[in-house]
């Protein structure tokens, strides 16, 4: 039962709580009267000859910084379907994948959410707590144009954002190699998270994934994370062993005055 609950945790985390938030569309802004024209402003003073121009604002400099690349271990794409509200004839499906760091820490989850027979699709993205929420995030496939998204809510397991998926974005995901999600941490540093799109189209267009397969994927992920954690610990011990002199070793001779 525990394994089955763990296998279903990804589906629950990206489908239940965010739905209410992303179903609410923002109200249209009230029509405002045009503001009165402002008086002409004098041209800014030009720097004196030989004087260096002022440095650009820090925000502009930060925007040009290359994002820090982050990769992790993925669970593989999984498709889970269930009847909506338990009594309706409509069926909702989620195609999702979770990304974790080598130490097992949660990095992100990506979920394509749709109702069978309806054209609208939504991509739900979850990232860890502690990100810069006002900055939102960017989503792109390979070198395609990035699509912005705003965070809608945060829960104990992360913060969620959602974007509508049109035919162009879906076609790019079907043919692409990687989905890249760009967020900013609390320090304003841009982070690029890579999510492989291998087998996405096969899982999306195929039947729902057997829960036994989901459980096996979870077990394989846990084994891989344990293996990487052990390798990292062994490497750290080797580095500490090289830095520490062996017991009984003679100390280095003191320098002559």
**Arithmetic mean of pLDDT, 152-175:** 93
Domain residues for the domain of 196 are 2-22+64-234
Query: For the segment 37-65, what is each residue's pLDDT rounded down to a tens digit?
Result: 454 455 545 545 555 445 444 444 344 45
- Residue 245 placed within a domain: no
Q: How far apart are CA 127 and CA 243, in angstroms?
A: 37
pLDDT surpasses 70 at 81? yes
Helix (H) or strand (E) holding 173: helix 167-175
pTM across the whole model: 0.62
Domain count, the chain: 1
- Residue 197 placed within a domain: yes
The residue that leads in pLDDT, 190 or 36, is 190
The residue that leads in pLDDT, 218 or 68, is 68
- Residue 249 placed within a domain: no
Q: Check residue 166 and give its pLDDT.
A: 92
- Residue 229 placed within a domain: yes
Q: Which residues contact 232 (CB under 8 A, 6 or more apart)?
A: 102, 103
Provide the pairing of β-strand 178-184 with 137-141: antiparallel
pLDDT surpasses 60 at 3? no
In which residue are the tokens 């990232």 written? 127
pLDDT surpasses 80 at 26? no
Q: Check residue 31 and give its pLDDT.
A: 43
Q: How far apart are CA 150 and CA 135, in angstroms?
A: 8
- Residue 248 placed within a domain: no
Helix (H) or strand (E) holding 94: strand 91-100
Helix/strand/coil percentages in the chain, nearest 5: 30, 30, 40
CATH (domain of 132): 2.60.40.1880
Q: Is the dihedral of CA 78, 206, 19, 127 positive or negative?
A: positive
**Arithmetic mean of pLDDT, 222-234:** 74
Q: Check residue 252 and give its pLDDT.
A: 55
Q: How far apart are CA 124 and CA 93, in angstroms?
A: 13
- Residue 108 placed within a domain: yes
**Arithmetic mean of pLDDT, 222-241:** 76
- Residue 256 placed within a domain: no
Q: What does pLDDT average to over the chain?
A: 74
């Amino acid at each position: 039962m525990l394994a089955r609950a763990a296998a279903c945790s990804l589906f629950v985390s990206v489908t239940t709580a965010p739905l209410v938030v992303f179903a609410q569309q923002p109200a249209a802004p009230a029509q405002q009267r045009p503001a009165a024209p402002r008086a002409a402003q004098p041209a800014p003073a030009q720097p004196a000859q030989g004087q260096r121009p002022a440095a650009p604002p820090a925000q502009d400099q930060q925007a040009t910084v290359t994002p820090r690349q982050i990769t992790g271990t993925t669970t593989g794409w999984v498709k889970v379907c269930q009847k909506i509200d338990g009594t309706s004839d409509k069926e909702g499906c989620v195609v999702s994948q979770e990304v974790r760091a080598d130490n097992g820490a949660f990095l992100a989850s990506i979920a394509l959410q749709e109702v069978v027979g309806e054209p609208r699709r939504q991509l739900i993205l979850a990232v860890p707590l502690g990100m810069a929420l006002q900055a939102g995030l960017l989503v792109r496939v390979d070198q395609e144009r990035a699509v912005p998204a705003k965070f809608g809510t945060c829960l104990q397991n992360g913060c969620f954002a959602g974007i509508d998926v049109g035919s162009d974005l879906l076609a790019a995901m079907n043919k692409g190699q990687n989905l890249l999600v760009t967020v900013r941490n609390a320090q304003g540093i841009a982070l690029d998270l890579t999510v492989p799109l291998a087998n996405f189209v096969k899982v999306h267009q195929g039947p729902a994934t057997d829960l036994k397969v989901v459980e096996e994927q979870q077990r394989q992920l846990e084994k891989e994370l344990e293996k990487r954690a052990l390798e990292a610990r062994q490497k750290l011990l080797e580095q500490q062993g090289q830095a520490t002199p062996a017991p009984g070793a003679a100390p280095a001779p003191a320098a002559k005055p």
